[in-house]
Amino acid sequence: MPRQLSAAYYEDKLPALADLFGSPVRLDGTHLVTGNGRYPIVDDVIVLLEAEHRPQALRTSLADGRASGRQDEFGDLVQYSFGQEWEHYHQIVAEHRDEFAQLFDLVALDSLRGLRVCDLGCGIGRWAHFLAPHCRELVLVDFSDAIFVARRNLATANALFFLGDVTRLPFRQDFADFAYCIGVLHHLPIPALQAVRILTNYAPRLLIYVYYSLDNRPWHYRFLFRAVDTLRRRLCRVRDPRVRALVAWVIAAAVYKPLVGVGHLFEAAGRGHVIPLFEAYRGKSLRRIEQDAYDRFFTSVEQRVSKQQIVDELSPLFTRLSLSDRQPYWHFVCER
């Protein structure tokens, strides 16, 4: 479906945008004009990316398909993979509420009242959906077409939507009161914890989730991981969306689900934790597991960090660093 250029959604949001950018802003037809740039507005999403870095379908809609410069291979793969993932798994489901509670266990939701909250790498907006009743305003950013799915899912929220690179935002220092980045930084081409340093410019308090290095697991987890990671490196270059969907379903049905079943048997003896995937996926539907399998096996970059690395590298930057000992590992809150 062709994207539609329209600025009507932002006509009453100019004061918020001016505060966000830290400079006067105005609407010029279907574009937002700031002191530093002119950004098209497409399907209520403000496009921050330069023409050559936009998803191909959007470049076509904006008639900039011949823009100078070529999308780098990493950016192209990331936009394609996550755009396809969130178009395919576009619904916010009941299971997401439980996952939200797990991820935000270190955040007192009442502390967000009256605040601007930023979702960095929002995907379909599943976490923002549950945060919306607790804050004054949401700022959602994503690098892929998933941002347009988020716009649909948060149609009634007080929110601003941006297609942009979470590590290169043209906003003022501390433009948000609280920001979170869930499951994103470990897919970037720069070290995940180095990226956290960049995000410290966005808000005085951050919630981060990055993949763990299995540092709190038995040795066989790390042994199995090497084989799984080899498979991921091969599968991530598959482009056919039908093949991707089929592979994700097969992995979910033939690997994840059986392991969860074995985990239940071991759990009767108090040993469920020794079975990979059991604790993370017990009680989850096949569809929800399938989406995680898709996310896991079709991403071109995957980093993993240990709890000790987080403490060693980030403690000097913050007055407070709190790591959760609960799943998913590792998620933490850092405050300046």
Amino acid at 179: A
The answer on pLDDT for 128 being more than 80 is yes
- Residue 62's pLDDT is what? 76
Q: Which of 163, 212, 219, 242 is nearest to 326 (CA)?
A: 212
Handedness of CA 107, 113, 115, 121 (dihedral sign): positive
Using the 8-state DSSP alphabet, how is residue 63 labeled?
Answer: T
Residue 72: pLDDT band (50, 70, 90) is low
Q: What is the pLDDT of residue 1?
A: 53
Return the residue matching tokens 């003896």: 269
Of 56-65, 164-173, 263-272, the one with minimum mean pLDDT is: 56-65
Q: How far is CA 254 from CA 3, 60, 231, 285, 289, in A?
A: 38, 39, 15, 14, 11
CA distance linking residue 143 with residue 162, whole number of Å: 9
| Cα 93 from chain centroid (whole Å) | 17
Tens digits of per-residue pLDDT, 37-52? Answer: 999 999 999 999 988 8
* pLDDT score, position 312: 97
Which string of b and e fits 70-80 if b means at least 16 CB within 10 Å? ebeeebebbbb
Residue 183 CB: number of other CB atoms within 10 A? 19
In CATH terms, the fold of domain 1-211+305-336 is Rossmann fold (3.40.50)
Q: Which of 333, 111, 118, 88 is nearest to 207 (CA)?
A: 333
Query: Could you read off the pLDDT of 219-249 as tens digits, one per residue?
Result: 999 999 999 999 999 998 888 989 999 999 9
- What's the CA gap between 59 and 309, in Å, rounded? 40
Q: How far apart are CA 263 and CA 281, in angstroms?
A: 10
For residue 298, pLDDT beyond 70: yes
Name the residue with tokens 């590298």. Answer: 313
Can you give the pLDDT at residue 204? Answer: 97
218 closest CA partner among 274, 267, 264, 262: 274
Q: In what order do the strands lie in the sheet with 178-182?
A: 26-28, 31-33, 38-42, 45-47, 159-163, 137-142, 116-120, 178-182, 205-209, 331-335, 320-323
Residue 299 has pLDDT above 90, yes or no: no
pTM: predicted TM-score of the whole model, two decimal places: 0.92
CB 299 within 8 A of CB 187: yes
Sorted by where each begins, the domain ranges of the chain are: 1-211+305-336, 219-297
Res 48: pLDDT: 96
Give 301 or 108, the one with higher predicted confidence. Answer: 108
Q: Tokens 């797990």 map to which residue? A: 102
Work out the pLDDT band at 301, boundaries 50, 70, 90.
confident
What share of the chain has pLDDT > 90, as a percent?
A: 78
